[in-house]
Chain A
C-alpha cells in the first residue's frame, strides 16, 4: 500500500473519476430505460455507443477539423458533430429493436432468447466494424468500405485542453467541463421528457404495467421505439465525448464502457433513471479513488467488488428497480 500523501492527489483522482462517471451515466441510461420497458438487458447497447463515436469521428473529419477550434467555431462544430453521432446511434438502437427484438416479442420469446439475441447483435455489430477496413473479406467480390478496421482510429483534435479553474490545487480543463456539462444537460432534458411529456407518461406506464397500459390505449410499439431511440441519442453523444476525451475510437471501444455502464445501471437500481445517473457517477468515483493506494490494474476488481457488495445488501440497487418514480 502506497497511498498518496497530498489531498490534491486524491482530488485529482476524484475529478477524473467524476468525468468518467458522467460518461458511464450517459450510457447507463440506455440500459436502464430499455430494461424498464422491456425487462431486456440490451447488451448490444455498447455497440450503439461505438456507432455514435464513429459517426462523430466522421462528422469531425467531414467538417475538416484538423486542429483545435475555439469560440463560436468550436461550439458550432461540436453541435454539428453531436447531431450525426446521436442520430446514427439512435438509428442503430431502433434498428436492432426492429430487426432483432420485435420479432422475438411477437413470438412471446423467453427472456433468455432476448439476452442471447442481444449478445448476438453486439458481436455482429462490432465485428462488422472490424471487417470494414477497405479490404475484401469472407470471399465476397467487393471491397468493404474503409470505416473502422482493426486498428484504433485517432479522433481529430477539436477541443484544445487547457486549465480553466482549479479546485483544491487540481486543475479542471476544458474537456472535463464539456463532458460534465453535456452529460448533465442531457440528463436534465431526459428527466423532464420522462416526467413532463405525454410520451414520457407512456414510457412510465409501460414500465409499470405493459398490459394495462396497452388497454388504456398506449401504443406499446411506439413507446418501445422511442425508448430505444432516446437511449441511443444519449449513447451516441457519450460515444463522441468518450472518443474526444481519450483521443481514439475503435471497433471494440464500446465493450469496456458498456460493461461499466451496465454495472452502473445495476448499481443505481436497474430500470431507474436517476439510479443510473447516480450509479454512473459513483462507479467512476469508486474506480478511480479505489486505486489511489494500489496499482491501476486493480481498477476493475475494485469496481466490481463494490457492485457485489452493494448487491449483497441491496439486491435492487441503491435506488431500487423503478422507472422514474
Chain B
C-alpha cells in the first residue's frame, strides 16, 4: 500500500514539475521582455512565413534577413513604444507545412502582423485563416494574381503580380531573342501555372507560335521526358514558370540533350543561386523577369546604408527580396511608431499608406491589397559568369 502511495506521489510530483516547466516557458517571452527593457515596454511579435530551409530557401532567406535587420535596428534605437520580435516560421514553401504554423500565430495574441507568406501556394492555403483572425499579412514575393480575388481585407502585396512579370518575359523571348516558336512549361503550382498562362497569351499576342505547353511535377530530379518533348517541338525559346531547383535541372538537362541554343526565360522564382549551382555552367545566358529591385548600384543613402549593414550582419550582399523584406519591416515599424500596436489599427495604417518611401519603391495599396500599378517595378536579369546580373528595368530591356 505504501508503495502505491509513493508511486502516486511520484507521478503527481512529476506532473507538477512538468506543469511548472510549461507555464514558465509560456510566461517567459512577455515577462522577460518587459524586465529586460527596463521600462514597461510590451513585446509584440511579427511572424515571418516562408521557406527558410529546403530547396527554396535562397528565394526567401534574404527577405527574412532584411526584415530582421530592420527590427533589430529599430529595437536598438529605442524610439518604439513596444519591443518587436520577428519570429521565423519555416514553411519550406509547402502549403501543408504552412497551415499548422499559422495556427500558432493566430493562437498567440502577441502577434500583430505577418511578413509573407513568401509563396503563392502557401498564401492561398493560409490566407483565410490570417484574414479571419484580423492579422495584417504583407507578402514580399507571392505573385499569383488570384490572391487578390479572395476578398481578404488584411492582405497586401508589396510587389507586382504574375500579370506584371509574365508578359514582358514573353516579350523578351519574341522581341529581344527573336523567337517565333516558343515552348512553355510550368511546375503546376499556382505561381508557376499562372505565370506560364499569362506569358503564353502574351507570346501569342506578339505573333509567336507556342508549340509546346507542358506542366511537370515539382521536386523531381528527372525531367528527361519534358526535355525530349522540347527537343521534338523544335522551339528556340522556353518560358518556364516555377522555381529554381526544377528550373536549374531542366536547364542542365536541356544542355545535356543538345539544346544549348534554346534560351530559357523565367520569372522571379528562378533568380537565386540555387538555379546557378544546380544548372552549373548551363545556367549562362538564362534570363529572369523579376519584380525584385536591383539596388546594388543605387546612390540613395538609405539603400547604400542598407547594403553595408546587411553585408556586415550576414557576410553577404542582400539577395532576391532582401530589400523588400526590409521595406515591409519598415512599414510595420512606422505603424508601431505611430502608436498602432494592435492588428486592426496596423491594418488600417497600412491601408492608408500614401507613397510610403521604401528602398525599392513607394508603397500605396489599393483596397484589394494590390500595390498601386504606378509603383510596380520589373527588372530583367541574366546569368553572366556564374552570377545573376541586372540587364535593366523592363522598359529599358524590352522595346514597347
Contacts and interface: CB of A to CB of B under 8 A. Distances in A.
Interface of A: 4, 6, 8-9, 12-13, 15-17, 19-20, 150-152, 154, 157, 161, 163, 171, 173, 175, 242, 245-248, 250, 252-253, 256, 287-288, 291-292, 295-297, 299-300
22 contacts: A9-B229, A13-B228, A13-B229, A16-B224, A16-B227, A16-B228, A151-B54, A151-B55, A151-B57, A151-B277, A152-B55, A161-B256, A173-B257, A242-B221, A246-B221, A246-B224, A247-B280, A248-B221, A292-B229, A295-B213, A296-B226, A297-B217
Nearest to B251: A247
Nearest to A23: B222
Contacts of B231: 12
B221 A296 contact: no
A89 B70 CA distance: 48
A20 B222 CA distance: 9
A154 B274 contact: no
B33 interface: no
A150 B90 CA distance: 13
A134 to B, nearest CB: 13
A299 B218 CA distance: 12
Contacts of B221: 152, 242, 246, 248, 250, 253, 256
B149 interface: no
Interface in B240-279: 245, 249, 252-253, 256-258, 274, 277-278
B55 A291 contact: no
Contacts of A15: 228
B220 interface: yes
A152 B278 contact: yes
Given A12-B232, A171-B258, A288-B228, A296 B249 contact: no
Contact of A299 (B213, B225, B253, B257): B225
A151 B274 contact: yes
Interface residues of B, number: 35
Nearest to B232: A9
B256 A300 contact: no
Contacts of B217: 296-297, 299-300
Interface centre among A16, A157, A163, A288 (most CB of B within 10 A): A16
A288 B227 CA distance: 11
Contacts of A256: 220-222
Given A163-B258, A256-B220, A154 B225 contact: no
Contact of B57 (A150, A154, A161, A252): A150
B196 to A, nearest CB: 11
B348 interface: no
B204 interface: no
B215 interface: yes
Nearest to A294: B214
Given A20-B222, A246-B249, A248-B249, A157 B280 contact: yes
A157 B252 CA distance: 11
A245 B223 CA distance: 11
Name the 10 nearest CB pairs between A and B, nearest first: A9-B232, A16-B224, A246-B221, A297-B215, A12-B228, A247-B252, A296-B216, A296-B226, A295-B215, A161-B256
A13 B258 contact: no
A148 to B, nearest CB: 13
A13 B231 CA distance: 10
B277 A150 contact: no
A9 B229 CA distance: 7
Contacts of A16: 224-225, 227-228
A16 B217 CA distance: 17
Interface centre among A4, A9, A247, A256 (most CB of B within 10 A): A247
Nearest to A163: B258
Interface in B167-211: 185, 188
A287 B213 CA distance: 18
Contacts of B225: 13, 16-17, 287-288, 291, 296, 299
Contact of B278 (A17, A247, A252, A291): A247
Given A246-B253, A247-B252, A288-B225, A154 B232 contact: no
B296 interface: no
Nearest to B274: A151
B35 interface: no
